[in-house]
Each structure stands twice: as C-alpha cells, then as structure tokens.
Structure 1
C-alpha cells in the first residue's frame, strides 16, 4: 500500500541503514531534470524507469500508454474526473501496481492514468504531504525529511498557502509594477510562469513582444502555446530578470488558474491562483517545501 511506502521513506532518510541506493549520508538522492520536470529512478517490472515528482498534482499517476497496453492484467478501482492543463477525462484508478524503490518492493494503489511522456509513475501531493521535501535544483538532488526535523514556521521566507479550490501549494510573486498575485508551485511544470492569455493581456505582457509558438504536453491532452519573457519577477526575497512566461495560443483553453467563485455571504480560505510557477524560475534555488502545513523556504546554494 502507498501508506507503507511513505513510512519507508521517512525511516530510510533518518537512519543509518545501509541500502543499495543512491541516497548519500545526508539523505540526498539525485534527480534528473527532464525538460524541466523533476524525475527519480524506480525499478518497474525489472527495469529502471523514471518517476515524476510533481507538487502541482493532486493525485498520484501511472503512464496512460502502459495502462492501455496492459488492461487485461491490471486491477482497476474507482473512477475520477482527471483535469489536466488541456482538457478533462474520466479515468478508472489503477490499484496493486508493484514498484521497487531503494531495494524495497511495494504495491501502489489509486493511480490515475495520465500522459507522462517516458516516465512510468508520477508522485503528487498525496505522496509529498508526508514529508518536508527539499529540491536542490542547481545540484540536481533532493531529499525527504520528517516534519519534526525542521521548524518551517520559523524558516519560511516566502508566502505559501493552500490553493483556494484545490489541494495544491500556492506561492505569492510580485512583478515590476509592484502588484502581487498567486501561482501554483508546480515542480512538474517545465516552464517559468504559465498564465491565461487574458491575464497576460490585462497586464500588457503581450504588447510588442516576440512570441515563440510551440506545443506543450498536459496530463490529459496536448495543446499549442506561446512563450515570451517579462523583465522582472520577485519571489520571496529574490528578484529575477527576463523570466519566461507561457500562455495558450489564441482559442486554446488551458486549466491553469483557480476558477473558484464565491459570494459575500461565504468566507473561503486559501489563495486564488492565476497560473503556475515552474522549473525556469525554480532552477536557480534550493526549495524546501512543506505541503502539509503550507510553508516554504527558498535559497541560493
């Protein structure tokens, strides 16, 4: 069961047990940034395969191509409505999927079939909320720490909240005009900022800019997008220049913002997000993320 996997990681990182694994003495293990997406190695059906670590996913997932090819031998459970950046689909969750990590074998349940490229699995918030997770982007390594090890209330140096309408981390950023807004902190997003075309238009970001057209892969479908740079972005105490922004092409619908609406009679906690914050910004930092208590710290190595 996935619960047992969570416990195993906590024990692995906090003891001196010697296992045949890439974890060093301080608990760091290497990750690969594949087109900006964080992946680690797992053993799946006797082969070394990639698993995505995705703070922008409310679910854990399995490669949809693999599921289609192995329908007859897989165990399916409840159905869910899976929302990706491009579109939505109803999917049956996959149960009892064997995987080996750090020399131990587990069976994973409640995996949603999704487009994962050449990765076989994706670990989202149901996995990450069991730890404080550190991503050292410049040195391409990460580690999982128990919540008791760090006082994130004291260490936090960026504003982080739960997304108002989804169980995802929302981070506050500021642009050159001094205006701030919230974005979903997404380690599975290979871009910098991903926002709606209307949001970019309202801020004047589309005026007189050279737009680069290309395609992007979502969990459900793919779609056409355009990218450009803005001159300034502030994240926590750090100021950045020439930050990459991606918007959907004309007529393309992307699910990147919180669509929640409320009335004056109801009070809702959390942050209404305007888009996603991903690799092209995070790659400069060591990011410490506590998605259980919604706190974060960023630093340069």
Structure 2
C-alpha cells in the first residue's frame, strides 16, 4: 500500500515534457522486468539480445555467457578490478563493441566481463550511460524514455532528497526507514529486492533482535555471492510517499556490505560522499510503484504515481 501527500506534480511535469516532446524526448520504449531488473531490447555485435539498466553500477558490462555462447570478435582492453556489494574481483575489459539501443547505433568501450545471467541478457548499462539525458522510468507501465536536458528543468519539480557521487555518477537518495532512521541509499535499479542496508543500522534499531521475523537466503553479486538476512519493514518513506511492507536485507553476522562508489577503490558502507554517509541500496521492491524522472548529471529526481500521467 502507498500513502501519498502530493498527486499533481507528476501531471504538471509530464505536461511540461509533452510540450517539448517533438524536440527533446524519445518515444516511450517498452521494457520487461526479470527478477526486479529492467530489460530493454538491443542488438549487440549483430545479435538481438537484451540490456539490463542498472543505476547501481558505475561501469558498463558485457555478459560472460554472451561471450562464451556467441564468441564475438571483441577488442580486449586489459583487465580491471570490479567491486560488488559482497566483494571484489579482477575481470577482462573490451572496447569498440557495436550496440544499437533506443534506435541509436553506438560503439561502447570499457565493457567489463561480468557474470549476470544468460547469454540473452548481454549488456549491463550503469548510471553513467544516462548522464547526457533526463531518464523517465514508468515502472507500473513498464516503459522508459530519454528526455533532452534542455527541454525541461527537473529542479523545479524535484520531490526527493538526492545527491550524486562525482566519481561514480550514482545517485544517493534519502529514505526514512520504519519512521526511525533517515539513511542515504544508492538508487539501484539492479537490486531485485527492496532495500539492502548495512548490518549496524538494522542491529542498532533492534530490527534483528525480535522486532521482525528474519529469513536467511543467498544473494548473488557481480563479484561473489553472500548469505543475507531479510525481513518485511512496515514503513519506508521516499519523498512525499510512504510504502508499506518493504523487503529489507542485510549481510549475516560477520559479513560486510561494500558500497560500489569507485571502480577499484576499497570503499565500504560508511564512506562519505559529498558529506553524506551511505548506508545501503534502494531497489525494485520500492521503485516498482512509481514513475521516476531522473537527471543523473545534476542530481535531481521526481517520483509520482502512473495514474497522474
């Protein structure tokens, strides 16, 4: 259930965008949701496949399963250190990969060899890919479009507290958990749960000591897997909205949650970005209710409900 305080702002925003649509906005492009991930149809190295849109990744990746299955002629560009929520690894990197997405032919460089699914889900696009545009993601209607930044000033409509990491391009969103704790979380469309938070936050608020029933499961990361404890949180407040019964997860006792703020950097939760302390990730189980309009470069975001369009 979602409780709202503002219901007209999205309609005004979409009206402003529509007035510039011919000059500055792409057509809506459908996407599918697979295990919480946004998937769009693309062509890569001549093969019709899909791309995962992951605002929680500061790099772009190519699926190891795609490389193994299609054996494309790729230009190897050395190796790089990658880092996920549960650890890090060294992977190959490729340049000059032909991709067609949103009707545009591109040649992408620095694609990291990653394990993120089947050969069909071939490309991972991180937040930096969308830095030149305003991105509008309509989760309930499963569609996405790009808007020229000169067409509209999102600062006039923003209704969520957001900051941006200057190095990784990832957005940090301020969220209130269980009406107890204000935290800064990375906006992560690649997280198939609701919220991943460092264990200290959950422990200090007594969420793991009897307040909520927890379940231990295995979670898959880009570098390695790890056991996590999950529970349902009664209230999560994001901007002018409150979402009830959100899946919240935290690493098991003795494990760390590593926040992906810079490729190769040995950062962990608690790292300060622009003076804000980052405590976890904000994912699909919260975002799925909303239409998101995001200016990655300037660090602005608006959320609304689809019926207001």
TM-score range, shorter chain: 0.7 to 0.9
Aligned to 1:175: 177
CA 1:285–1:112 in 2, change beyond 3 Å: closer, same or farther?
A: same
Aligned to 2:258: 255
Q: Partners in 1 of 2:33 and 2:184 — Cα distance?
A: 24
Q: Partners in 2 of 1:137 and 1:225 — Cα distance?
A: 26
Q: Partners in 2 of 1:71 and 1:270 — Cα distance?
A: 45
Match of 1:233 among 236, 257, 262: 236
TM-score (norm 1): 0.83
Segments of structure 2 that go 5 or more residues without pairing to the other structure are: 1-19, 260-267
Equivalenced residues, count: 275
Segments of structure 1 that go 5 or more residues without pairing to the other structure are: 1-12, 17-24, 262-267
Q: Partners in 2 of 1:205 and 1:49 — Cα distance?
A: 41
Aligned to 1:289: 294
Match of 1:196 among 188, 195, 198: 198
Aligned to 2:152: 150
Deviations 1:202-256 (A, max 9, x none): 1111122322222222111222222101111110000121111011123333314
Aligned to 1:10: none
Q: Partners in 2 of 1:298 and 1:15 — Cα distance?
A: 23
Q: Which has the higher contact order (CA 8 A, sep 6+)?
A: 2
CA 1:148–1:232 in 2, change beyond 3 Å: closer, same or farther?
A: same
Aligned to 2:274: 269
The within-5 A match list for 1:38-187 is 38-67=38-67, 73-101=73-101, 104-118=104-118, 119-163=121-165, 166-187=168-189
Q: Partners in 2 of 1:129 and 1:85 — Cα distance?
A: 23
Q: Partners in 1 of 2:156 and 2:241 — Cα distance?
A: 18
CA 1:147–1:47 in 2, change beyond 3 Å: closer, same or farther?
A: same
Instruction: Give the drift of 1:135.
Output: 0.7
